[in-house]
Structure 1
Amino acid sequence: MIAFAAGDALGVPWEGRPPERIDAAEVVRLPAPDRGWPRGSTSDDTAQMVLVARCLADTGGRPGSMDFLARLSDAAPGVRGLGPTTRRALAHFHATGELPVPSAGDLPTNGAAMRIAPVGWAVPPDRPERRRGLCETLSAATHRAPAAVAAACVIAAMASSAVEDAGGGDLLDAAAAEARWAGEHHGPMDAVVDAARGRWSPPPEGVSLDAVETAAAVVHVIREAPDLAAALPYAVSLGGDADTVAALVGGVLGARDPEAVAALGWLGLVDLGEHPGLGDLAARLAALRETPDDGL
């Protein structure tokens, strides 16, 4: 969770910029964001990730879509940078008290994938149906596009494997395998498989909010820079939705190598004051991971 927040904070000052407008020498200095946020701030990426983790822990690993949406609605006034699909879902909820309704016009943005890593941290790799069901449930609170759910499944699968101390190649295999499954059940995920095999290149204008493109970018970064200290600045250097890509990379690689998180020389610049109690929350997720299937 700390590595996730660190990646988020590292990318926030550069979010929305094309790669050529990102100063590599300045990235790890965490300059204050142009939008007036405090230096070291995290965004909706971290806020929603923590909400998912707490929702999982508080429900004993049995959250409903409405459980998460109600929590998000309560927290939303204090969350920085909520994305367009999430804002629409919240507006619909405030007007009707209901979940968003699937439609052909649903945009496959990355908000569901962005927050889903706690599902992977809480569910081991040998329970794929459990993990996928939680991805679908928690995605449905705001994101109904099939590609958005597919991308969430890929991120959760990588996070789940990472906790088992999976090496770089194992993480890539996990991503490719889940992308093939998600492609059969939700929609094409060829870009993720290509990224895992080194056949995908980041868009020159920066990574967009598209869920599949975001998942492919995360896989690409982990393939090219499998060590956390190098991966996070590289993720930011791709431009576009830099904070989300870097946060997800942090959530995966930090789970694989917790000692590398403490070794980040700039970690002290990250403001975690809005998210106290992460150690206790992590312990509660770890306890869920050890709970037998019949206990869930």
Structure 2
Amino acid sequence: MDKNNFLGCLLGMAVGDAIGLPSEGLRPERRQRLFGELTNHRLFFGHGFVSDDTAHAIMTAQALVASGGDPTQFGRELAGRLKCWFLSLPPGIGKATAQASLRLLVGIPPEHSGVFSAGNGPAMRSPIIGLFCAADTDDTRLRTLVRASTRLTHTDPKAEDGALAIAKAAITLPAATELPQGPVSGYIVHTVAAALALTARHPDNLRAAVIESVALGGDTDTVAAIVGGLIGARVGHEGIPTDWLAGLIEPWWSEKRLAKLATQLAQVAHSGTPQRPDASFWLLTHALLLPIVLAHGFRRLFPPY
């Protein structure tokens, strides 16, 4: 896999996340009444922001680059970035991820920081892991990296199984299956089933896959982000809708900075030699996003229901 595949994965997750975020937690009928069909950015005057889904993908990418793909060091690198991200007060963080982050902050090591949960956090981190291990002759390292990523926050075996399925789907197109009926919950089993079905259904059409992900309702930003990452890894930068990229607001992780990270991922995946990725500055993103998310939550208190 080259830089273009990694960049397509990161950008695909970002646009999917941003398109799906306004309708997160809504049933399809309520989303239709509030927004109509979500085919473009609607979070903030025709623009979109990324949320925790994209942040987890970026932190995972940074940890892979900094560790050279060594599973033990990868877990430590990801844990350190997760703690810093948590301290920047991200809106909408999952309960298990929040608990695990607190456990890390009080000194519990990454191998024991996870809590028993089968939420979606590990699946957010998996597309980039799968892509990183695409050239391996077997899946030993892939499984070990997925295990380190998953158990950092979630210890339910279903979380690891789901994360591994997503990681493998970044390498090999999943078999076509029936699309589950929405809305999709935050339970990783439901999310993975929907994401794999949508990826198989639209393997080269990221726009169509993301729009259909959002139409399902429920955890729309996470499903759309995972689908965007899986298809983006296949189609590369050229397959990401340019109007969606143009409408994306991310004050720190610009497309140029993501392209640099993608280049490092490709180089480290090939050589195994660690590099130093750019640092993150999530506080500005979260400071801008929080009032917008609160305004959307307040708006949902009123008709149309």
TM over 0.5: yes
1:292 shift after superposition:
7.2
Residues 289 and 98 of structure 1: is their aligned pair in 2 closer, same or farther, counting only changes over 3 Å?
closer
Residue 54 of structure 1 is aligned with which of 49, 62, 77?
62
1:228 shift after superposition:
1.0
2:147 aligns with: 136
1:86 aligns with: 97
Cα distance in 2 for partners of 1:128, 1:272 equals: 34
SS in 1 for 2:195: helix
Cα distance in 2 for partners of 1:41, 1:145 equals: 30
Matches within 5 A, 1:202-241: 202-203=181-182, 206-226=183-203, 227-241=205-219
1:187 aligns with: none
Q: How far does the alpha carbon of each residue in 1:248-277 deviate from its partner, in whole angstroms, 9 at most, with x for none?
A: 111011111125534443321112333141
Q: Is the 8 A contact 2:180 2:193 kept in 1?
A: no
Amino acid at match of 2:267: A
Q: How far does the alpha carbon of each residue in 1:171-211 deviate from its partner, in whole angstroms, 9 at most, with x for none?
A: 124xxxxxxxxxxxxxxxxxxxxxx433x5224xx111111
1:22 matches 2:2: no
2:164 aligns with: 153
Q: Is the 8 A contact 1:121 1:285 kept in 2?
A: no
Amino acid at match of 2:174: L
- Give identity over the alignment, percent: 31
Q: Is the 8 A contact 2:131 2:171 kept in 1?
A: yes
Q: Is the 8 A contact 2:133 2:142 kept in 1?
A: yes
Q: Is the 8 A contact 2:125 2:149 kept in 1?
A: no
1:217 shift after superposition:
0.7
Q: Is the 8 A contact 1:4 1:248 kept in 2?
A: yes
1:65 matches 2:75: yes
1:113 aligns with: 123
Cα distance in 2 for partners of 1:21, 1:81 equals: 20
1:191 aligns with: none
1:285 matches 2:265: yes
Normalising to structure 2: TM-score of the pair?
0.76
Cα distance in 2 for partners of 1:245, 1:264 equals: 21
Structure 2, unmatched stretches of 5+, are 1-9, 274-305
Residues 59 and 292 of structure 1: is their aligned pair in 2 closer, same or farther, counting only changes over 3 Å?
closer
Amino acid at match of 2:116: D
1:176 aligns with: none
Over aligned residue pairs, what C-alpha RMSD do you find? 2.5
SS in 2 for 1:290: helix
Cα distance in 1 for partners of 2:99, 2:123 equals: 17
Cα distance in 2 for partners of 1:77, 1:118 equals: 24
Q: Is the 8 A contact 1:108 1:145 kept in 2?
A: yes
60-69 or 135-144, which deviates more: 60-69
Q: Which has the higher contact order (CA 8 A, sep 6+)?
A: 2
Q: Is the 8 A contact 1:101 1:144 kept in 2?
A: no
Q: Is the 8 A contact 2:86 2:98 kept in 1?
A: no
Normalising to structure 1: TM-score of the pair?
0.78
Count of aligned residue pairs for this structure pair: 255
Residues 210 and 100 of structure 1: is their aligned pair in 2 closer, same or farther, counting only changes over 3 Å?
farther
